[in-house]
Chains A and B, each alone.
Chain A
Amino acid sequence: MRVTCTVNGSPAAADDVWEGESLLFVLRERLSLPGSKNACEQGECGSCTVYLDGVVVCACLVAAGQAQGRDIRTVEGVGDCGTLGTVQQAFLDAGAVQCGFCTPGLIVAADDLLRRVPRPADAEIREALAGNLCRCTGYEKILDAVRLAASQRPGGVTDGGAG
């Protein structure tokens, strides 16, 4: 079947999509957007987190056909016109990246959090990132990165928790 949707602001179409295929497969293998990572395929790890109509979801659990006509934003669309977004830059500055496999999902989940809660408390950061697994960093630098991004957003402040 053919699936058409909007991806990162532009119309996209994929042909010969198998009906049981996931949105993640469509993004990576048919639309050449490999930023969203394929790891657990069961919604446990969050590496494939994308926005679907403005809501963060695991792309591996969205059937391709369910994306028909909908608006998708991937990690490739989180930055600003070819430059890194605030959250992406903060992950670099805080050294919140090791092997990098979980990073795209964490960037999207953190971006979503800061859109909803501009100045999150640590408990809110932990809750928002609870569906994203990192097996390298121990999460401390990831938390630092989210605090840093929050402080750098317009109206953001440093709550002194950046350790």
Chain B
Amino acid sequence: MEFFRPATWADALAIKAEQPGARAIAGGTDVMVEINFDRSRPEALLDLTGVPDLAEWSADGPVIRLGAGVPYTRVIGELGGRLPGLAMASRTVGSPQIRNRGTVGGNLGSASPAGDAHPPLLADDTVVEAASVRGTRDIPIRDFYTGVKRSALAPDELIAAVRVPVADGPQQFSKVGVRNAMVIAVSSFAIALHPERGQVGTGFGSAAPTPRPAAAAEEFLAAELADRGLWDSHGPLASSAVQRFGELVAEAAAPIDDVRGTAAYRRHSLAVMARRTLTWAWRSYREEQQRCA
């Protein structure tokens, strides 16, 4: 095995171009587990922790550009106000030790259906910046996941950053697991309300081969809110609408039975989480209006 430790992004891309089999490693919270347990023997490790740019984030107008190497601890501490959905999900990752090392870029690189960052990224129209010596391209998050632990990244590409819109409305995240800490999601769900454009974003994890949005649920809720004038009136949501939203989210899932839970439980828990998070988010939206009135 070889070990590369580039000090610049250009060097990292050059190494990846020359040796596409080199496995990118940042916090190591996925990659080292595979190596420790002999599940994979990459021909080389490409350590990205020596590239300073990756550990930075910046605000570009209404969008946060989050470097692929920013650990969850910093997402929680520095971006909780602007990216509340992602920060909530980040708080549920592993333990303090894991959050100090694990990164959103690594979550995307692994592309596990259970990754905690995926649902809020899906709910908030994130763009993934994929880079190679050939140039940089934007991959919309909904096109990023292609299969179990597979993504749209080309063999010579590395993730530079994600661009996540600053929250323009309430966001929520919920995750089911057997305890509070060190839990791989049995299922997870994120919602983002986008009042200014009258849209609703969703994402769920651990209930399909890839993280997914629940498109029919999004359309149903956006139409419900528009048709009844609720975005403007800030009126209460009908319980039948909340119920239907939950059903549509569950219908979007394609879960399996495994050691963490059954397919039926995953569908059921998704419907429950969808109802709860929508209720919380809509309550925030109504309270916001009361505060401004």
CA distance A61 to B120 in the complex (A): 26
CA distance A55 to B96 in the complex (A): 10
Q: Please indicate the chain B residues that have their CB under 8 angstroms from the CB of A41 in the complex.
A: 33, 36-37
- With A56-B100, A131-B94 in contact, is A65–B32 under 8 Å at CB? no
Q: A127 within 8 Å of B by Cβ?
A: yes
Which chain A residues numbered 37 to 54 have a C-beta less than 8 Å away from chain B?
41-44, 46, 49
B96 in contact with A63 (CB, 8 Å): no
Inter-chain contact total with CB atoms closer than 8 Å:
90
Q: A109 within 8 Å of B by Cβ?
A: yes
Instruction: Quote the shortest CB–CB distance from B102 to chain A (angstroms).
Output: 9
Q: A22 within 8 Å of B by Cβ?
A: yes
Complex partner residue of A63 from B3, B41, B182, CB under 8 angstroms: B3
A44 in contact with B28 (CB, 8 Å): no
Most B CB contacts (10 A, CB to CB) among A61, A63, A68 go to A61
Q: Please indicate the chain B residues that have their CB under 8 angstroms from the CB of A132 in the complex.
A: 95
User: Interface residues of A, CB < 8 Å — how many?
Assistant: 29
Q: Please indicate the chain B residues that have their CB under 8 angstroms from the CB of A12 in the complex.
A: none
Instruction: Quote the shortest CB–CB distance from B117 to chain A (angstroms).
Output: 17
Most B CB contacts (10 A, CB to CB) among A20, A60, A65 go to A20
Q: Please indicate the chain A residues that have their CB under 8 angstroms from the CB of B29 in the complex.
A: 43, 58, 61
Which positions in A face B, CB cutoff 8 Å? Answer: 1, 18-20, 22, 41-44, 46, 49, 55-58, 60-63, 65-66, 68, 109, 112, 127-128, 130-132
Which positions in B face A, CB cutoff 8 Å? Answer: 1-3, 5, 25, 27-29, 31-33, 35-37, 41, 44-45, 47, 49, 73, 94-98, 100-101, 180-182
